[in-house]
Structure 1
Amino acid sequence: MKRILTGIFMATTLLVSSGCSSTVESGETQVSNNETTSQTEKKETTPMGDHQGQSMDHSQHDQKPKTVTNAKLTTPKTLTSNQPIDLVLDIQDEAGKPVNKFDIFQEKLMHLIVVSDDLEHFDHIHPDYKENGRFAVSANFPQPGEYTLFSDYKPTGQAETLSLTKISIPGSVPLPKSLSKYEKTKTISDTKVSFKPSQEKIKAGEDVTFTFDLKDNKNQPIKDLQPYLGEKAHLVVIKSSSPLTTADYIHAHALKNTTDGKIEFHTKLPQSGTYKMWMQFNRNGKIKTADFWVNAD
């Protein structure tokens, strides 16, 4: 095992139990749980179900007994904003023993989504597996405040599982920015992204299609998109809540058969409220992220 973090550490612990959750055509995985999680207490959550119609295989899932895993986050004692911070995630069973076998899904062993609790900051990173149930990665937290980490992994032979941990970056928390909510078009370097939902008023719990039109500098549909983590694009949607929980998290895959310059996701927003979404795609080998806000009645 490679070197572990030096110094004094803080740790947060989260229990995750196995079970099926709802899936939809685009490969969405949604967790339904209303319990909150602090840095010191353990909570039980429902793991993410298989990606229906995508790369996941349901054939073994229903035959496996339910398991409980414990995701433990360890950080250095001193935490500083806007500086790389080494994070360690230890995946353990209910008895505290390491879970040391994981399946690759979407080309990685773990996907880690880092968001500030005000949803201003978003990062999608991939920790390295260090064996014996340990994952390690360096992350940057741009400013003081509260952050939530959604770690997505798949113990061998079990369902894809989502764990939630928290980290607090000390310092003077800046005043909230003026949110440019509900903008429908954004330009990301050489790509213009326009967003349109299938219905003007989105109803909580009902199917909805989110369409993203991508055009180049000449206002022509993009034709050079490349796969990103095995899919045409990925969409992370998080409900604006305090505190954030696994129930607020949705991950969807783009529909496969769409025309040039168009990316579509079929999903649903489970509860009424305000959501922020981050759509990630690969153009010319560079991962681009377009963020938009939506509201569900």
Structure 2
Amino acid sequence: MFFSSRPTTHRRALAAAGTAVALALTAVACGSSDDSASMPGMEHMATDKGLSDAQDGYRLTSSQRSLVAGEQADYRFTVTGPDGKPVTGFAVDQTKRMHFYAIRSDLTGFQHIHPAMAADGTWSADLAALTPGEWRMFASFTPNSGAGKGKDFVLSRSVTAPGRATRTPLPAAAGSTRVDGYTVTVKGEPMAGMAHPLTVSVAKDGEPVTDLQPYLDTYAHLTAFHEGDAAFAHLHPTTKVNGNHGGPDLSFHAELPTAGNWRLFLQFRTGGTLHTAALTLRVG
């Protein structure tokens, strides 16, 4: 057995290490809201990625921490401002005052909803049936008054759908995918933390699609979630809308903050039907 010849120094080192651990734990506790509850694979909370329920005095609140799996559900939430009161004034962004997203921890089950707000500031999002597992609910909005006027916020909370959960592996990164008979191709090689253009092309039966209809004041809506923590990113369209004849090529401004795999969800409309294509993009 080995005994240190300098026990006092050894004890001081141990004490210092213990203090460092305690400070680290305190920092984590202070930096987390009461909702930043751990979800498998979704532990790293950061306000700039939509993974916190609070930012700059604004907070996403809800009494619902679980929703019944396999049934349609009404998720109710409120956004409170720095004064602690519900916010009722929101700016219009892409024709809506609130964009709401539900995503499962394995990046399946994507839902994009535009909820309704009651006079008291309570929002109601009508969710399609959730599969069992851990989900994160994102609220994307811009206050039109107060301290946060004109600033874009993305806040989120975790929700559990109880039951036997089966995790679906993320599909490998690919340059194209198919949905409802359409082929969606994504071109571009974005780097983490850098602005980069992406081009999305839509084809059907080998022919370019040129009859995309406007959806949310654009020809396609594109959101992305990061594998592992479900960090959120909205990729802004730069293609101008000009009647019911969009496509086949659509341009987006991409700025994805973290390297790794991102699951992209592209929504576009043809003949009055909304299509949602999913594709995995590798970001260096």
TM-score range, shorter chain: 0.7 to 0.9
Query: Which amino acid in structure 1 is aligned with residue 185 of structure 2?
Result: S
Pair 133,264 (structure 1): closer, same or farther in 2 beyond 3 Å = same
Task: Describe the superposition over 1:219-240 as per-residue Cα deviations: whole angstroms up to 9, x where unpaired.
Answer: 2111111111011212111111
- 1:241 aligned partner: 228
The answer to whether the 8 A contact 2:192-2:257 is kept is yes
In the aligned structure 2, how far is the partner of 1:172 from the partner of 1:268? 36
How many residues align structurally?
235
Query: In 2, distance between residues paired with 1:81 and 1:295?
Result: 31
Secondary structure of the structure 2 residue equivalent to 1:225: coil
Partner of residue 265, structure 2:
278
Give the direction of change, closer, same or farther, for the CA distance of 1:232–1:272 in structure 2 (3 Å limit).
same
1:254 aligns with 2:237: yes
Partner of 2:101: 113
Q: Which of 1 and 2 has higher RCO (CA within 8 Å, sep 6+)? A: 1
Q: Residues 109-152 of structure 1: CA distance to partner in whole angstroms, max 9, x if unpaired?
A: 11001100110121100110111211112213431111011101
Looking at structure 1, the residues matched to 271 and 226 of structure 2 have their Cα atoms a distance apart, in angstroms, of 31
1:68–1:285 CA distance, 2 compared to 1 (3 A):
same
Q: Percent identity?
A: 23
Q: Which amino acid aligns with 2:35?
A: Q
Q: Give the whole-Å Cα distance in 2 for the aligned partners of 1:263 and 1:208.
A: 14
- Which structure has more strand as a fraction of its residues? 1
One-letter amino acid of the structure 2 residue matched with residue 189 of structure 1: D
Q: Please list every run of 5 or more consecutive structure 1 residues that lacks an aligned counterpart in the other structure.
A: 1-34, 49-65
Structure 1 equivalent of residue 155 of structure 2 = 163
Q: Distance in 1 between matches of 2:161 and 2:34?
A: 14
74, 89, 108: which is aligned to 2:63? 74
RMSD: 2.7
2:90 to 86, 102, 107: 102
Alignment of 1:114-263 (within 5 A): 114-157=102-145, 158=149, 159-174=151-166, 176-197=167-188, 199=189, 202-217=190-205, 219-242=206-229, 244=230, 248-256=231-239, 260-263=247-250
User: Comparing both structures, which one devotes a greater share of its residues to helix?
Assistant: 2
Question: Please, which runs of 5 or more residues in structure 2 have no aligned partner?
Answer: 1-30, 38-44
The answer to whether the Cα contact below 8 Å between 1:235 and 1:251 also exists between their aligned partners in 2 is yes
Query: TM-score under structure 1 normalisation?
Result: 0.71
Separation in 1 of the partners of 2:49 and 2:106? Answer: 24
- Cα 1:78/1:209, change in 2 over 3 Å: closer
- Superposition TM-score, scaled by structure 2 size: 0.74
SS in 2 for 1:83: coil
2:47 to 45, 62, 78: 45
The answer to whether 1:87 aligns with 2:75 is yes
Paired amino acid for 1:135: W
Which one-letter code corresponds to 1:74 in the other structure?
Answer: S
Local SS of the residue matching 1:165: strand
* In 2, Cα distance between equivalents of 1:79 and 1:67: 28
**Could you tell me how far 1:40 is from its partner in structure 2?**
6.7
Map 1:20-39 → 2, pairs under 5 A: 39=35
Q: Deviations over 1:197-217 (max 9, x none)?
A: 2x4xx4322333222221123
